């Protein structure tokens, strides 16, 4: 029972264009969502997060959108750069817990 789903295993985008990574979840009780980036042979690093009381959070080139009615989360990267090529994981947490539920990841490749 996958509560957090990333249905696109991979995505290729031209440098300078927008990358949109998607994440769907099934549990309406999730109250905090995060995106992590992972390079090969390294641990995941935190990218951006959003609380369920918001619908958008922005940090430089990265914006996360939350649509609670659709139980859908997306990460926008504008403009995309070759250094953004990595695997991106979305994660969600329940109130009062410290446990993350991760999606399966999307491999982004930004073409120069």
Partner 1 sequence: NAGVTQTPKFQVLKTGQSMTLQCAQDMNHEYMSWYRQDPGMGLRLIHYSVGAGITDQGEVPNGYNVSRSTTEDFPLRLLSAAPSQTSVYFCASSYGTDQETQYFGPGTRLLVL
Residues that bind partner 1 (CB under 8 A): 4, 6, 9, 31-32, 34, 36, 41-46, 49, 51, 89, 91, 93, 95-96, 98-100, 102-105
Q: Which is nearer to partner 1, 53 or 112 (CB)?
A: 53
CA distance 13 to 108: 8
CB-nearer residue toward partner 1: 20 or 48: 48
Least Å distance, CB 79 to partner 1, is: 25
For partner 1, the closer of residues 83 and 95 by Cβ is 95
* CA-wise closest residue to 89 among 17, 25, 27: 25
Query: Which of helix, strand or coil describes residue 102?
Result: strand
Strand-pair partners of 100: none
Closest approach of Cβ 44 to partner 1, in Å?
5
Whether 50 and 66 have beta carbons less than 8 Å apart is answered as yes
Least Cβ distance, residue 21 to partner 1 (angstroms): 14
Using the minimum distance from each CB to partner 1, give the nearer residue, 15 or 38. Answer: 38
- Tell me the C-alpha to C-alpha distance, in Å, between residue 39 and each of 1, 3, 36, 103: 27, 24, 10, 16
């Amino acid at each position: 029972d996958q509560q957090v789903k990333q249905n696109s295993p991979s995505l290729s985008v031209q440098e300078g264009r927008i990358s949109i990574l998607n994440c769907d979840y099934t549990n309406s009780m999730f109250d905090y969502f995060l995106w992590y980036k992972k390079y090969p042979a390294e641990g995941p690093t935190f990218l951006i997060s959003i609380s369920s009381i918001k619908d958008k959070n922005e940090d430089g080139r990265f914006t996360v959108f939350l649509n609670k009615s659709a139980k859908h989360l997306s990460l926008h990267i504008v403009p995309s750069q070759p250094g953004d090529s990595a695997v991106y994981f979305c994660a969600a947490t329940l109130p009062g817990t410290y446990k993350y539920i991760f999606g399966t990841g999307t491999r982004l490749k930004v073409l120069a």
